[in-house]
Structure 1
Amino acid sequence: MIIKQLNYDEYKGRQYKAEVRSDKYLSIEPEGEGFSIEWVVADKEIVEPLEDDMLSNWLDNPVAFGAFEGDTLIGFVEGFLEEWNNRYRISNICVFDSGLRSKGVGTALLETILDVAANSGARMAVLETQNYNSKAISFYKKNGFEIIGFDRYAYSNDGPEEHNMRIEMGKKL
């Protein structure tokens, strides 16, 4: 496997697909003046298809790196410096084939973008995931990230019932 920087013009708007599978989700419920947060085992496996574009228009001066086996792109990471608050936003990290996950591809991509983030002078790296993506949350925690916020209704008015809430994670640099 080789990690190399992706050419913006070549990869901008390129679609990718993956799938999230999880047997649990973070339950985030109001409790007193705060919230309770705990892992709950799902009644059935959560399977969420993921389809998106690389290097979306809303990104400010993004950089992206790809993991390649031969000429085949097997995963990528992209991010940019949020100048207004001096944080580096990791906008996407994805290993396409679930069979290649837990084999070091994501770690290599994350380490690469964290080096870029640190060299940018950013004070922190941040990213978004979903409360049902238990494997991603565990991966980020293993790599020094912590939960720094959440939004129970980011994706719909039924986020808590659908077990689909935004989790914001960050790592001080």
Structure 2
Amino acid sequence: MEYEIIHLPKEKWKGTVIPLKYTTDTYYDVCVDKTENGYGIAIEKQAFLEPITYASEADDSEDKLYGDHWENAYAWGVLVNGELIAAIETDQELWSNRLRITELWVAEPYQKQGIGHALLEVAKEQARRERRRAIILETQSCNVNAVDFYEHEGFRLIGMDTCCYNNNDLERKEVRLEFGWFLEEKQQLSRDWIDIRKETESDWYNVELITQHAFWNKYQPGCVEHYLVHHLRQHEDYLPALSRVAVKDGEIIGCVMYTKSQVVDGLSTHEVITFGPLCVEPKWQGCGVGELLIKETMKLAASEGYKGVIIFGEADYYPKFGFKTCDHFNITTADGKNFAAFMGMELVEGSMQGIQGKFYESNVFSQLSKEAVEAYNENFPPLQKLQFPGQWS
């Protein structure tokens, strides 16, 4: 049976009790000894004389979704006939750039069916999207099944607290253990390792597929960018002479597409260009592919005589290439606004002097109906739509 993971909105699910309960006949015995040169710590699996059962409500510490002490909590879950049978909740530990899993629970009849793994994959995706350096979580030394599960999912022990629940946690054999999962450190690709070239018709499907993968659930549940790529190729504003794909070992791993755009000041119209989508296959993100595509194609655009590039993009990414917010150029959006994600860059020093007014991107970006996108999705393997913190919708 397949289970759909959905977002659990705070306004509806705050205060929902998570009935954590487990029975175990083993535990990890934690021993901390002072030695002549420091401390000796041993954690070894041992057997209880008889099985014990733990339930959170039994000690007046009920676990609940969206607890008041979690300021940035976000939860997902699985419903069966309207009943919550599994849930995961995360909270952004902003000061350390880590993501904490605050709750993870699967009802006993639904355990060992892959639901816990699927919920953890959602948290891992959130960590990747937010560029967190790690995911951390808490479990107890007596919850051996949980420890084994987290280790199987790639988590490792990073610390402990011997008096978290009571002052005699060591004696009670219930010590708080902290586990962490760390995002993979990516190797930067040099220009010599990839081929950057024009797209061919035989590339179309793969380019759209990696675009879908790159943008899926990024700005909204699902995405439209793969359909935009398809639609863009037939549009009069598309600039195939500037657009490029990145290829490694025969596999397309990235692409960037350019369009004509305009800055209008009264009766004066100035042509500029815009790139987007710029995308990289997720497994190659963080390896510098996007940077290589941007730098190479902007050099090409400058050699072709274009004066400037204006984009809507991530405000913490593009300034490293020299992009500035458009108020530096006296350029606003079509409705007269400026904001951090609205940026421009001269392709040659001083080339945008005298260009000011209101920016108008190609109308290709406004010709993407929801119905057309959904119909086009049928050309690709199905992906689950999910809500994440920070999405536009």
The TM-score, its normalising length taken from structure 1, stands at: 0.95
2:28 counterpart residue number? 26
2:90 counterpart residue number? 79
The Cα shift of 1:70 comes to 3.7
> Is the 8 Å Cα contact of residues 13 and 66 (structure 2) preserved in structure 1?
yes
Q: Unaligned regions of 5+ residues in structure 2, if any? A: 57-61, 184-393
Q: In the aligned structure 1, how far is the partner of 2:66 from the partner of 2:179?
A: 20
Structure 1 or 2: more strand by fraction: 1
The Cα shift of 1:73 comes to 1.3
The Cα shift of 1:81 comes to 1.3
Q: Pick one of 160, 166, 172 that aligns with 2:176.
A: 166
Moved over 3 A (4+): none
Q: Pick one of 117, 124, 133 that aligns with 2:127.
A: 117
Q: State the AA in 2 paired with 1:25.
A: Y
Q: State the AA in 1 paired with 2:84.
A: L
1:44 counterpart residue number? 50
Aligned residue for 1:147, secondary structure, equals strand
The Cα shift of 1:13 comes to 1.1
2:68 counterpart residue number? 57
Bigger shift: 46-55 or 73-82? 46-55
Q: State the AA in 1 paired with 2:102.
A: S
Q: In the aligned structure 2, how far is the partner of 1:113 from the partner of 1:60?
A: 17
Q: Unaligned regions of 5+ residues in structure 1, if any? A: none
> Is the 8 Å Cα contact of residues 27 and 46 (structure 2) preserved in structure 1?
yes
Structure 1 or 2: more helix by fraction: 2
Aligned residue for 2:123, secondary structure, equals helix
The Cα shift of 1:42 comes to 1.0
The TM-score, its normalising length taken from structure 2, stands at: 0.43
1:102 counterpart residue number? 112
Q: State the AA in 2 paired with 1:98.
A: E
> Is the 8 Å Cα contact of residues 20 and 63 (structure 2) preserved in structure 1?
no
Q: Pick one of 159, 166, 173 that aligns with 1:156.
A: 166
Q: Which one scores higher on RCO, CA 8 angstroms, separation ≥ 6?
A: 1
1:35 counterpart residue number? 41
Asked whether 1:132 is paired with 2:142, we answer: yes
Highest Rg: 1 or 2? 2
Q: In the aligned structure 2, how far is the partner of 1:27 from the partner of 1:42?
A: 10
Q: In the aligned structure 2, how far is the partner of 1:115 from the partner of 1:46?
A: 35
The Cα shift of 1:22 comes to 1.3
Aligned residue for 2:19, secondary structure, equals strand
Percent of aligned pairs sharing the same letter: 31
Give the root-mean-square deviation of aligned CA atoms.
1.2
